[in-house]
Amino acid sequence: MIHARIIGTGSYAPKKVITNHDLEKMVETSDQWIIERTGIKERRVCEKGETTSDLAHEAAKHALHAAGIAPADIDLIIVATLSPDTHMPSMACKLQARLGAKRAAAFDLYAACSGFLYGLSTADAFIRSGMHQTILVIGAEALSRYTDWEDRTTCVLFGDGAGAAVLQRHAGKRGILSTHLHSDGSFGDLLHIPAGGAAHPATHDTVERRQHYIKMKGNETFKVAVRALEDVVQEALDHNKVKPEDIDLLVPHQANLRIIQAMAKRLNMPMEKVALTIHKYGNTSAASIPMALDEAVRNGRVKENDLILLEAFGGGLTWASALIRW
């Protein structure tokens, strides 16, 4: 049996911290409101001059080191992001050059907060098809650059960071057992950045109307998210004929602690079996799952043969799962 197996993970968060108390001085909000509604206490943001590719580069170096492979061994680089340094060249090509991954093909992937799982699924398919042997998948975001720091409904939620995983062809039972990907574009306006693309290129007007920032209808998104995540988790369990109690670790997208708790409750899973980083990083979109996974690996929470369930939900709308035998 051929599987794509994660042989190394890495992550990186910028050093600069913004606490809820810092935000109290910027918009009309409170530490208590943010903690009660989201579980977030602080988030990291890029320093001036620091970019998404800087974070991705650090995470990638850690993952390659953990995997014990050289940049020249990589066949393909996939970067999931909604906050690239530039729209051209891609982040993946920047990384290819910075790492010196001379043999690697490279492309970016847009699936918002589900991006890392879309990337993992794509890499899994390339490896199982025999097209590639070794793939670097990265989720990296500098959402602080797309955040309206005058909008209290969004600025308290997001943060910057990057996580990476090296996948390699493995003949055996360990590796990615399944991935399931979904989308519903009819809900696109629940979570979007209105301007900056071909529909509404940057003008003085789009800038003045603050149309280059993330807009979210949080409450409506919340309701769709819980329903979609319940379905996609059940789909993964049914597909693999596993029971919730068989899962050793849940690594959810870190958007809201209440959504994560609802999923844990649905799976009848104690919170000790859930990887949580939301309190210190906020919602880092495509980076949140690989950052949480890397932290769990480094803290020794992931053991050989453990069953790990990853699930995500985000703009698009998109949602996804992956089940991994570690």
Contact positions vs ligand COA (CB under 6 A): 29, 33, 37-38, 113, 152-153, 156, 191, 218-219, 221-222, 225, 255-256, 259, 283, 313-314
Cβ atoms within 10 Å, residue 2: 13
Within 13 Å of residue 143, how many CA atoms lie on the same side as its CB? 30
Q: Closest approach of Cβ 84 to ligand COA, in Å? A: 17
- Nearest-CB residue for ligand COA: 218
Q: Which residue among 113, 155, 180, 256 is the active-site one?
A: 113
Q: Closest approach of Cβ 273 to ligand COA, in Å? A: 21
Task: Say which residues have a Cβ less than 8 Å from residue 97's Cβ, sequence separation at least 6.
Answer: none
3-state secondary structure 284-307: CHHHHHHHHHHHHHHCCCCCCCCE
Q: Closest approach of Cβ 34 to ligand COA, in Å? A: 6
Contact 190, 220 (CB under 8 A): yes
Cα distances from 13 to residues 55, 97, 139, 183, in angstroms, run: 7, 21, 12, 29
How far is 193 from 285, CA to CA, in rounded Å? 14
Q: Which residue among 3, 62, 256, 283 is the active-site one?
A: 283
Contact 159, 44 (CB under 8 A): yes
Q: Which is nearer to ligand COA, 37 or 174 (CB)?
A: 37
Q: Which is nearer to ligand COA, 11 or 38 (CB)?
A: 38
- Could you give the dihedral angle defined by the CA atoms of residues 241, 247, 249 and 252, in that order, rounded to the nearest 10 degrees? 50
Helix (H) or strand (E) holding 140: strand 134-142
Q: Closest approach of Cβ 7 to ligand COA, in Å? A: 29
Cα distances from 41 to residues 34, 45, 116, 278, in angstroms, run: 7, 14, 24, 8
Q: Which residue among 3, 62, 132, 253 is the active-site one?
A: 253
Q: Is 113 a catalytic residue?
A: yes
Q: Is 268 a catalytic residue?
A: no
Q: Closest approach of Cβ 209 to ligand COA, in Å? A: 20
Token pair in block for residue 268 = 């009848």
Q: Is 20 a catalytic residue?
A: no
Q: Which is nearer to ligand COA, 63 or 259 (CB)?
A: 259
Q: Which is nearer to ligand COA, 38 or 168 (CB)?
A: 38
Q: Which is nearer to ligand COA, 7 or 250 (CB)?
A: 250
Q: Which is nearer to ligand COA, 95 or 263 (CB)?
A: 263
Q: Which of 81, 86, 61 is closest to 136 using CA atoms?
A: 61
Q: Closest approach of Cβ 166 to ligand COA, in Å? A: 26
Contact 284, 141 (CB under 8 A): yes
Residue 217 CB burial class (10 angstroms; 0-12, 13-18, ≥19)? middle
Query: Which active-site residues does the annotation give?
Result: 113, 253, 283
